[in-house]
A and B are shown apart, each in its own frame.
Chain A
């Protein structure tokens, strides 16, 4: 069966690409620190040596519209084009192209339908920045096949927060039951407190730092119970009118598991919103395994030398 190489939850900030690639006077003062944090975060995926990426995000009114709005949808295409004219226009994002993995897509669709998630699907899906941002930050060489899963955090009525957690749990089970020898990284992006098109937008930090601190702690410690106890669809509008995107973090908490502390966590207070990065290694931390192997090398060398004598 497939193995989960890593579980990663992140904010997706469409301005990162522009900030990190700009130079000279164009480069914002916070770009160096941001880039350093992203590169450290990237390493947590690199060391996990994934073969396939399952990417959880949300279409921002690009392909899906209010005349036909899926709540949860799985991409079922051989290939995916990505990023849209208005993302190029506003964020300077490049057009991208990814390979798909229809075998994993089909397994998740069939398995989801059979276990209580009536998932929608798409055979021709143009992806947007909710799933291309983590490619840019975590796998810029863009060399792995992907399976996108879209959630509706955007167009009310929305599914309940609990459903996001349950879908995360289901996705984990489905990946682990995929008859394949591949290593799958499950990567999902959402938001902490965020305001878009409202009076609290584009402030010096996120609209609700108190919520952000609480949310980071829920995610870091895998405290699904407390998080579900405090969060409702309605009260997520209080920290910021786009904070319902936090439910994609809740989905990733479902993937990582109740009470499971992240092996890596970091955050960065930026204008407009806080960035937050988390990695779990369900099969053990490959950095610790590598360190242990390195530590045992001198012993092995000594043993070999003793044998030669």
Chain B
């Protein structure tokens, strides 16, 4: 389980306009590139200083590669990060205000308390 790394993916993509578009257009390719090149980057350090051990679990990689936000919820990805990024990805495709946000809630309607743990 690498819940922290899933959150790190959502966090680093969400804050970069180019990455948001890249992930929208090519989710599987972006996830593969990110895991190979970015996953072990220490965010506050020069590029030579890297971690050596971070990798997605198979179900995490697949959820990210398929834009499967209900599955990310189930895996304990931080719901604020998932929501913020997925609004950036898909809100534009909905005509009604909050159309995407309400569909998002509906697709998660099978979950009841307690929600999956998000502690990293």
Contact = CB atoms under 8 A, between A and B. Distances in A.
B30 interface: no
Interface in B39-68: 42-44
Contacts of B36: none
A201 B81 contact: no
A86 B15 contact: yes
Contacts of A157: 119
Given A67-B44, A154-B80, A196-B80, A202 B115 contact: no
A198 B87 contact: no
Nearest to B98: A202
A83 to B, nearest CB: 13
B23 interface: no
A197 B79 contact: yes
A84 interface: yes
A196 B84 CA distance: 9
A66 B4 contact: yes
Contacts of A198: 73, 79, 105, 108, 111, 115
Interface size class, chain B = 35 or more
B108 A199 contact: yes
Nearest to B108: A199
Contact of B15 (A85, A199, A242): A85
Contact of B120 (A62, A66, A237): A66
Given A85-B17, A86-B15, A90-B88, A201 B104 contact: yes
A155 B120 contact: yes
25 contacts: A61-B11, A61-B81, A62-B15, A65-B8, A65-B11, A65-B43, A66-B4, A66-B7, A66-B120, A67-B42, A85-B15, A90-B84, A90-B87, A154-B80, A155-B120, A156-B120, A157-B119, A196-B79, A197-B78, A197-B82, A198-B73, A198-B108, A199-B110, A200-B105, A237-B113
Given A197-B79, A237-B114, 10 more contacts: A66-B8, A84-B15, A89-B88, A197-B73, A198-B73, A198-B111, A202-B102, A203-B105, A241-B79, A241-B115
